[in-house]
Amino acid sequence: MRRTHTTKARVAVLGTALSALLCTLATTPASAAQSTPAGWESIALRVDSAQRLSQGKAITVAVLDTGVQADHPALKGHVTTGSDFLDDGASEDSGNWGLHGTAMASAVLKVAPEAGILSVRVLDESKNKKRTVSGGTSPIAKGIDYAVGHGADVISLSLGDAGNFVQDYNADEAYAIGRAVSRGVTVIASAGNSGDEDNSGSYPAGYPSVISVAATGQDGARAPFSTVRSHNAVAAPGVGITMAKKSGGFTTEDGTSPACALTAGVVALMLSHNPKLTPAQVRSALTTTAHHPEGGRDALVGYGLINAPAAVLAAASPAKDRTTPVKYTGKEHFGTPTGTSKVTHPAMEQGIWLSGLGAAGCGLLLVLVAILMGRRRRTGPRS
């Protein structure tokens, strides 16, 4: 009898649990039907621990990119499609729309699954060349102002250089970023991908007030392609990162672009945990809690690989923000153009490198003479 009663009780409990599970599945939003697979980057950033503290709820991350495919299963229900500042007639079905931006949005949501994405199109993916603005304001500057005006809490700019695609300094963009930060919006940008080539500087990562993100590999060291700059603030994983494909499914990518997007997700967790954080406090929490390299910081990875849960905890009780806007009173701009690009190294003067080459040749000749004399002494007749 007791065994029969116990069995019946177990069946009843099992039935109740099954019903609850079915109800839960029935009420699960479509946006959770498929999520971007986690990889080594989630372990490196300690995303699971950070998500126990925050999920990014009520935070909007503006992804300024090539457009975002809002109906991708990993993004559905999270994306608001904003303005397109290119006016090139491209649609969601065209090849120069949404490939890169869709991937970046999925990387943000991988870290902050309850955040919202504001998609702002400012780049044409089919043009692998230096950004030019023929009259009027830069599309990126317009996109930044648009994002601020439409409720963005974080702006993610995965717009670093790759090959011949170089982002040069643009005054409109610098001023737009200043306006965004003064309104309390944190701006994050990828450091660039020319570290294994000519290590050209890249904007928007180089603008003041931007949090520049370098990329690391699975070994925790700087990824070979990650641009080395003194303005790099922190680093995040950037090798073999799984992200959404515009056409559906997923793919893996390398670059400081995914590192930037993952960082934007961490910042969304921080702001959801403490919505009163200022951009300066966000930077401070990220840099003080990161895994510092030897010496505290360097141009390779800034203050080091982000520690997501530590950053979220630090966001709860941030240091006081002592930054204040200062009115410019000078008569001339301190950075008057000199004709030299701000992202490339100036050519070395011919006289200098010829002198250096001559000195090196003389030094090599002296070394050879010393070696010959040494051999002569060792092989001379014995007394």
Query: Distance (Å, rounded) from C-alpha 178 to C-alpha 210?
Result: 9
**Burial, 5: exposed, middle or buried (Cβ in 10 Å; 0-12, 13-18, 19+)?**
exposed
168 is catalytic: no
User: Minimal CA–CA distance to 307: which of 266, 361, 274?
Assistant: 266
Cβ proximity of 162 and 198 under 8 Å: no
Q: Which of 65, 124, 153, 168 is catalytic?
A: 65
Verify whether residue 257 is a known catalytic residue: yes
Annotated catalytic residue within 42, 54, 78, 100: 100
Count the Cβ atoms, other than its own, within 10 Å of residue 286. 30
Please state, in angstroms and rounded to a whole number, the distance separating the CA atoms of residues 186 and 207: 13
DSSP reduced 3-state for 232? strand
Is beta strand 241-244 parallel, antiparallel or unpaired with respect to 250-253?
antiparallel
Q: Which of 257, 272, 273, 284 is catalytic?
A: 257
DSSP 26-70: HHS-GGGSS-PPP-HHHHHHTHHHHHTT---TT-EEEEEES---T
Say whether the peptide bond before residue 325 is cis (omega within 30 degrees of 0). no
Q: Which residues are annotated as catalytic?
A: 65, 100, 257
